[in-house]
Structure 1
Amino acid sequence: MTRFPPLRLLHASILLTFALIPVWYRLPRVPPLLPDLYVSRFLILLPMLLTIAGWLALGLPGLADLRCDAARRTWALALLLLALWGFASQGWAYQRIQHPEAAATAALQFGIAALFAVVVACAGPPRRAIIAVLVVSLTWNSLVGGIQVAAQGSIGLSALGEFPLSIDQTGISVVQAGALRWLRPYGLLPHPNMLAGVLVLGLMGAGAWILSARRRVWITATLLASGGLWALGLTFSRAAWGGLVVGLLATLPFLWRGRWIRRRHLLTAALLLLTAGLFFLHYRPFLLARAGVNQESIEQRSISDRRVFTEFALRAIGENPLLGVGIGNFPWKASFYLMSLPYDLQGDNVHNIYLSAWAELGVIGLALYGVALLAGLFAAARHLRAQPDRSGGMLLGGVVALLALGLLDHYPYTLIQFQVALWGLLAAAAGEGVGGKGCEEEAVSGPQFTDNDQAPIPSS
C-alpha cells in the first residue's frame, strides 16, 4: 500500500461500493454520460464506475500479476466473456423488439459488475478492510431491521431509500401463524430475503473478527454476531439460514489449517447457540409456519410460486437450450407462459441462479458462468491453502453462502448489488492484488500466515 499511494482513492471507491451493497437508493435522474436505463440511477453504480475509471487512469495496476496466475486469469477471462455473451444476447433476446431495455440494462449492469470484480482482483484493498466494511454493514442493518420489526413498519429512512412498510400493506412480506401476522424486515432493500443475504455476509465478516488474537475485537465481534444472528432470524429467510450454515462449513478447512480456533471460541459458539435457542422459543409459531407444519396459505403460495417459475425455466431451456431467451428476459418469457394459464401471477425470475443463467444465456452462458465460479473458487482455495488468512477464509465463506442460497433465490445473479457481492468478494478472496505476494512468491509451498496473525498457540 505504501508503495502505491495513488491506489488509496481506488481502494476507497471499492470499499464504498461494498458498503452500498445493502442500499437500493436510486438517484432522482440519470447521471450525465449514462444511458437512460433502470440500472443507471442506482447510487452504487457511481463508485463502481469511479473504480473502473481510476484503474484505467492508473495504468491497469495489478493486471500483470493476474495474467501470470493461471487460475485467476481463467476466472477473469471467463467472467469477461460471460459479460460479452450477455451483451451479445441482446441480438436474440425474447423482447428485443418490444422491450430492448430489458436486455440492455441487465447486460450493462453485469458488464460493469464484471469489470469491477476484475479491478478488485488486480488492485483491491486489503481484505481486512473489506471485512471491516461487512461488519459495519452488519451492525447498521441489524439495527435498522430490528427497529422495523419492533415498529412493524417503516422507520422514517425514506431519504436513504427505505420502502414504505406497513403490516396491513398489500403485497408486503410477512410471516403468518393462524391469526398472527408479523412483518419481516426490509432494511433499505426491496425484500427481506435480500436483507438476509447482506446479514449473512456481515456475519461472515464478524467471524473474521471473532478469530482475532485481540481480546477486545473478539468480544466486540461476538456481541455483534449475536445481534446479527437475531436479525437474520427476523428475516425468516430459509435460503439465507441454509446459506450461512454452508458458508461456515466451507471455512472450516482454512480455519483449521490456520490454527486460529481457541478454547475461548467455545464461549462464542455457546452465546450464538443461546441466541438461536431464544429466537426459536420466542418465534416458534412463525418458525413452524415457515417449515410448513401448519400449512399456512402464505407459505404454501410461496412454495407453489417457486415451483411454477422453475417449471417455466425448464420449459424455456428446452425451447432454446443453446442461446437462451436473452439476458434479463426470463420474466418476460414467464409472463408469456402465464397468459395461457389460470395462475394469479406476474412474470418473475426463477429462484435459482443456475437455472436463471441457463434459461437466459443458454448452455454457452451457463458454461461460462460455471467456469468463472469454479476457477475463482479454486484460485481462492489455493491461495488460502498457501497463505492461511482468516479474512480471506471468511470472504470465501461468504461467497459459498451466496452460491448456496442461490439454489433457492435469484438475486446473486439478477441484481447489481449482489453481483458486486458475489464476484467482488470472490476476487478479493482469490488474491491480494497490487502489493500482494506476486506470482513467483504465490507458488511457494507451505503455509505463510497473514492478516497480522501468526499461527497462535491454542489458549483460552
Structure 2
Amino acid sequence: MNDRHMRRKAAIFLDAVYEGATGLLPMALGLWFYHPLLRLPHPPVYFIYSSVLLFGSDLLILIALSADLSLRALTGTLRLHRPPLPILGLLGLAGWAILSAAWSIEPRLSAYTGFHLLGIAVWILSLSERPKAWRALSTGCMLGILLQSSVAVLEILAQSTAFLRPLPLEWPGQLDPSIPGAAVIELPEGRRWLRAYGTLPHPNLLGLYLLGLMAGPATWGVQPNPWSFIGGLGLGLGAFGIGLSFSRAAWLGCIASFIGLLRTPQLSPRRRLLLLLAGAIGGLAVAWLFPSQTITRLTGRGSALELRSVRERQWLMEQAWRQITSHPLLGTGAGTFPLALREAIPPGYRAEPVHHVGALILTELGLPGVGFGLVMLWAFLRERRRREDPEAWALTAFLIGLLIASMLDHPLWTMAPMRALGGCLLGAWLGRQKSGDAGDRRPPASPDPSEGH
C-alpha cells in the first residue's frame, strides 16, 4: 500500500512537471536565453544561422518530455499510438535532414537542424496524446501576448530598446533609430522610425511569435462561457502587437487567421461580433495612430529603405533558384542556405535565408525534402475536415495563418524557438482532431489500484 501511495505521488508530481513546463513554454519562446553548444564562424553569416544553440525553450521541452517518459514508465503505458500522418511526414523530413549531413557544405549544422526537427516531432506526438495540456499552453500564450505587446508599446513610445538593458538578454540589444542595421521605417520626410522588437532579435520575429500565440486566446474566444471575453481581449492585444511590429508577413497571416476564425461553426453571432471587433480594433488602431508608417510599409512610397528591402528579397529568391538548379535532387544540406551564399554576396547585402520556407526546403533538402513537406501539408488539409469542434477550428485558423506568413518569411524553418512554436500549435491541433478533451490519452496520474494485489 505504501509503495502504491509513493508511486501515486510520483505520478502526480511528474504530471505537474509536464504541465508546468508546458505552461512556461510560450513565454520562453519569446525570451531567447541560449547556450552555444557549438559556434561555427562563417562570416559574413550571422552566428544564429551558423551555430548549434540550446535555447531555454528547448530545455523546457526536454523537461516535459522527460517527465512524460518517466510517467509512462511508472504507469506501464510506454506504448505509443500510431503517429498521425502529419507527424510521419515531419519524421521523414527530419530523417532526410539528418541524412543530408552526408553531403552538406556544413555537416554539423545539418545534423543539428535534423535532430532538432526530430525532437519537435516527438514533442508534437506527446502533445497530441495529451489534449488537456492545451489549457496550460493557452494560458502561457495569453501571458506571452501580454508581456511582448506591453514591451512593444514601450519601445514605440520611447523609440528605443535601452530600457531592456537590465535584463540578461542578448536581444534585441540597445537600439534606437540612429543605429545602423536597426529595423526602422524610413518616412517620406527622411526621418527614421524604430519598429517594435519586443524581446526578440527582429520585429518580424515578434510578429510571427504573436501570431502563433494568438491561437491561445482564440480558443478561449470561441467558447460559450465568460472566458470568451478574456479571449477577445487577448486577440485584440495580440493584433495590436502585430501591428506595431510592422511585419507585412505577420499582417497577412493575421488577416487570414481572423477570416478563418470568423468562419468557426457553432459560433453565436454575439461571439462572432466580439472576435471581429477584437481583431479590427487591435489592428486598425495601429493604422489610425501611425498612418504614415503604415502607408510606407504597405506601398514603399518615398522610402529608399523599403525599395532596398524588396530588392534584397528578390535577389535572395534569385540565388535560391540558382542553388535549386545546381542541386535539384539533394540540395546543399539542411540549414546551409546562408552559408552557400557567402561567395555570391555583393557589397552591402546580407547572408540570410530566403524569405520563403518552401524555397528554403527545396534549396537545402532537394526534391525529397519538398516531398515530405507536401505530405505534411496534404495530411494537415485532409485532417482539418474531420472535426468541426470550435477549438480545433480556431487552432486550424492560426496554423493556416502561420503557413501563409511562412511564404513571406523564414523563421519557422531557420530558428529553433519558432520551430517549437509551430510544433506547439500542431501538437495541440492534432490532440483536438483525435479526440477532444474527453479522449485525453496521457498516462493516468495514479497507477491501477489493483496493482500489487
> Which bin holds the TM-score, normalised by the shorter protein?
0.7 to 0.9
Q: 1:156 corresponds to which residue? A: 164
Q: Counterpart of 1:351 in 2: which secondary structure?
A: coil
User: Moved runs in structure 1, 4+ residues, more than 4 A?
Assistant: 60-65, 432-440
- Tell me, yes or no, if the aligned pair for 1:313 and 1:350 is still in contact at 8 Å: yes
Shift in CA distance, 438/160, structure 1 to aligned 2, threshold 3 Å: same
Shift in CA distance, 15/219, structure 1 to aligned 2, threshold 3 Å: closer
CA-based RMSD of the aligned residues comes to: 2.9
Shift in CA distance, 330/291, structure 1 to aligned 2, threshold 3 Å: same
Q: Which is worse superposed, 309-318 or 372-381?
A: 372-381
Q: Does 1:66 align with 2:70?
A: no
Question: TM-score of the superposition, structure 1-length normalised?
Answer: 0.82
- Tell me, yes or no, if the aligned pair for 2:212 and 2:422 is still in contact at 8 Å: no
1-structure distance, mates of 2:221, 2:56: 32
Q: Does 1:24 align with 2:32?
A: yes
1:91 to 79, 83, 102: 102
Q: Does 1:11 align with 2:22?
A: no
Q: Counterpart of 1:182 in 2: which secondary structure?
A: strand
Q: CA deviation at 1:272?
A: 4.1
1:228 to 238, 260, 263: 238
Q: Which is worse superposed, 111-120 or 261-270?
A: 261-270
Q: 2:116 corresponds to which residue? A: 109
Q: Does 1:52 align with 2:61?
A: no
How is 1:204-223 mapped onto 2 (pairs within 5 angstroms)?
204-215=215-226, 217-223=227-233
- Tell me, yes or no, if the aligned pair for 1:174 and 1:181 is still in contact at 8 Å: yes
Q: CA deviation at 1:438?
A: 5.2
Return the letter of the residue paired with 1:399.
Answer: L
1:174 to 175, 180, 184: 184
- Tell me, yes or no, if the aligned pair for 2:210 and 2:242 is still in contact at 8 Å: yes
1-structure distance, mates of 2:279, 2:94: 40
2-structure distance, mates of 1:334, 1:267: 47
- Tell me, yes or no, if the aligned pair for 1:52 and 1:116 is still in contact at 8 Å: yes
1-structure distance, mates of 2:385, 2:292: 41
Q: 1:359 corresponds to which residue? A: 363
Shift in CA distance, 344/422, structure 1 to aligned 2, threshold 3 Å: same
- Tell me, yes or no, if the aligned pair for 1:14 and 1:120 is still in contact at 8 Å: no
Q: CA deviation at 1:44?
A: 1.3
- Tell me, yes or no, if the aligned pair for 1:145 and 1:186 is still in contact at 8 Å: yes
Q: CA deviation at 1:108?
A: 3.1
Q: Does 1:245 align with 2:258?
A: no
1:216-258, Cα deviation, whole Å (9 max, x unpaired)? x3333333333332221111111101101112233344x22xx
Q: CA deviation at 1:293?
A: 4.8
2-structure distance, mates of 1:54, 1:393: 29
1-structure distance, mates of 2:317, 2:213: 30
Q: CA deviation at 1:439?
A: 11
Return the letter of the residue paired with 1:75.
Answer: P
1:302-357, Cα deviation, whole Å (9 max, x unpaired)? 1111111111111111111111110011111122333xxx4521321010011111
Return the letter of the residue paired with 1:10.
Answer: Y
Return the letter of the residue paired with 2:257.
Answer: G
1:147-194, Cα deviation, whole Å (9 max, x unpaired)? 111111112253244422222111000111122221111112111011
1:56-86, Cα deviation, whole Å (9 max, x unpaired)? 333488885631xxxx532222211211111
1-structure distance, mates of 2:100, 2:278: 50
Shift in CA distance, 208/372, structure 1 to aligned 2, threshold 3 Å: same
Q: Counterpart of 2:193 in 1: which secondary structure?
A: strand
Q: CA deviation at 1:377?
A: 4.2
Q: Does 1:421 align with 2:418?
A: no
Q: Counterpart of 1:186 in 2: which secondary structure?
A: coil
Return the letter of the residue paired with 1:233.
Answer: G
- Tell me, yes or no, if the aligned pair for 1:87 and 1:107 is still in contact at 8 Å: yes
2-structure distance, mates of 1:302, 1:337: 18
Shift in CA distance, 398/353, structure 1 to aligned 2, threshold 3 Å: same
Q: 1:346 corresponds to which residue? A: 350
Return the letter of the residue paired with 2:168.
Answer: A
Q: CA deviation at 1:370?
A: 1.7
Runs of 5+ consecutive residues of structure 2 not aligned to the other structure: 1-8, 39-49, 442-453
Q: 2:129 corresponds to which residue? A: 122
- Tell me, yes or no, if the aligned pair for 2:217 and 2:230 is still in contact at 8 Å: no
Question: TM-score of the superposition, structure 2-length normalised?
Answer: 0.83
